[in-house]
Structure 1
């Protein structure tokens, strides 16, 4: 049986609720992880989600900024809403659920974007981003015979050369600078995570999940970046069967600049 987990930076869940409903009706993932919900917990639009069969909703939100939410067709146990860099931003939510005979931990992340200037001396947002990634070392891919871990979200870094439309032109652009990509990959590997989206994908193949609002014609220019990620503990790799990037969602009415990524697992 195919089990699917989707991740999507929705860029305001209340503003784009019609898009969320359309996505759930058309794709029906078992779990959907949203980022940048920009919504306090008591104003989260739960009713239309429950109407579509997503009865289990975990939220870590705040007014006007950031925010993550994980919604599911099956029971979720909220495990943690971690604070990073001693800042109260709502950027992390972990839940536990059962699938495939295992108890799985699912981390939903929204990493800081980092501002425009890749210099920690003059840009505190960039310093915050690097500090946040450093603290992610504590989020490990814990697993044993009866458990496993998955991490998804808008991680706001395109780590590999072909995760951006032009490696050379973006080397000094926040999200693809060497200090970001090096620390990001070192953190992922040290914490035991497997980058599922790059499994069995030729290195030179471009992968994008984000296209800027600034482009007059995003589809024609196709200047994308892979900012959204799906990782797992090594023991779940045999159950991973692939993923879809719903590129067409970038062309929906009043879209997010990110599109959904749907990871597929062979769980009973």
Structure 2
């Protein structure tokens, strides 16, 4: 168990699987959605990793991330084609057999008209032994959960539906709170003050994000903490520093 878990912080990693993501052929739309979703329910997305459709790489990543974080979420590679190898890779990662799961077969049999449940489509019913199914309200082919790893589809609408199905089962921690301060200043002019404020406020994270509109530079400053009182103290200090620097 990680130190974060001992402190009641719930962490997660997102493993994006697919050659099409790495080649740029498919633009990932799931990372931002998952990050925002998990933050809203009190889970810190701590790492995102993208791996190709290579069994050894998937197995290596799953084992490492599963040991490091409270939860792992994956997307991609559970479809009906020959290169959808995620389910087999999960079985190998955890040393369990994989076969057609009667529950998944029944779901697909009830969904597809008679004669249309092909061998290719039946591949989507291959589930590692001991895994729980994740409901898919969009296209019915289920995802699955094995230990602390949640295996979901790569298609955004399906991934989102699976995430909604999974969410009630997740342990959550105290939500990360945030406050944004807009500074009509270039980042360089406020950087020293932000370093001082950060050093004086342990338990608070301060990020600065420069922006440029029509050649005019400004900075958006985001203050984050799980403690509301600490958050307000640091945010007030940032606002004061911005006001003093703007004079």
Q: Which has the higher helix share?
A: 2
TM-score, with structure 1 as normaliser: 0.33
Normalised TM-score (structure 2): 0.35
RCO higher in structure (CA 8 A, sep ≥6): 1
